[in-house]
C-alpha cells in the first residue's frame, strides 16, 4: 500500500513565524503535491513537483514556498505565517502525471 505521511497532525503557530510542513512518501513516486482545504472552497493546489529540485506553482502559491531535495520528501514552507493561512494542508503523491493521487492524513494548521 502507498503510504504518505505528514510530520504533524495539528500545529499551532503565531503570526510572522516561519512554518515547515513535511511530507514523505514511500512508493518512489515522481510527483508530489501540496493542497490546502477550506470549507466551501474544496482542495486548492499550492505547489507541485515532478522531480527532485523541480517545482511548479499551483493555483494559490502566494505566501508559500516548497523544497524537494530528495525524491521521497516534499516540504511546504510558510515564510511568514498569517491568520489567513489557517487551514487543513494535504500532501499527495502519484507515480504518473495523469494518475490518481494518494493523500496523507493532513496537517491542521492554526495561525494565531
Per the CB < 8 A criterion, the answer to whether 12 and 108 are in contact is no
The H or E element spanning position 16 is: none
Residue 95 is classified by DSSP as S
Per the CB < 8 A criterion, the answer to whether 78 and 64 are in contact is yes
* Selected binder of another protein within 4, 21, 24, 66 (CB under 8 A): 4
* Selected binder of another protein within 12, 27, 54, 105 (CB under 8 A): 105
Q: To the nearest whole angstrom, how small is the minimum distance from the Cβ of residue 28 to another protein? A: 16
Pick the stretch among 13-21, 60-68, 69-77, 98-106 that binds another protein (CB under 8 A).
98-106
110 binds another protein, rule: CB under 8 A: no
Amino acid at each position: 500500500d502507498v503510504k504518505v505521511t505528514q510530520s504533524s497532525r495539528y500545529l499551532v503557530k503565531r503570526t510572522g513565524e516561519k512554518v515547515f510542513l513535511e511530507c514523505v512518501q514511500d512508493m518512489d513516486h515522481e510527483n508530489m503535491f501540496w493542497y490546502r482545504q477550506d470549507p466551501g472552497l474544496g482542495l486548492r493546489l499550492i505547489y507541485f513537483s515532478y522531480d527532485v529540485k523541480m517545482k511548479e506553482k499551483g493555483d494559490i502559491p502566494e505566501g508559500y514556498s516548497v523544497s524537494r531535495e530528495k525524491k521521497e520528501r516534499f516540504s511546504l514552507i510558510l515564510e511568514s505565517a498569517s491568520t489567513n493561512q489557517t487551514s487543513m494542508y494535504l500532501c499527495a503523491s502519484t507515480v504518473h502525471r495523469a494518475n490518481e493521487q494518494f493523500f496523507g492524513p493532513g496537517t491542521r494548521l492554526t495561525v494565531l
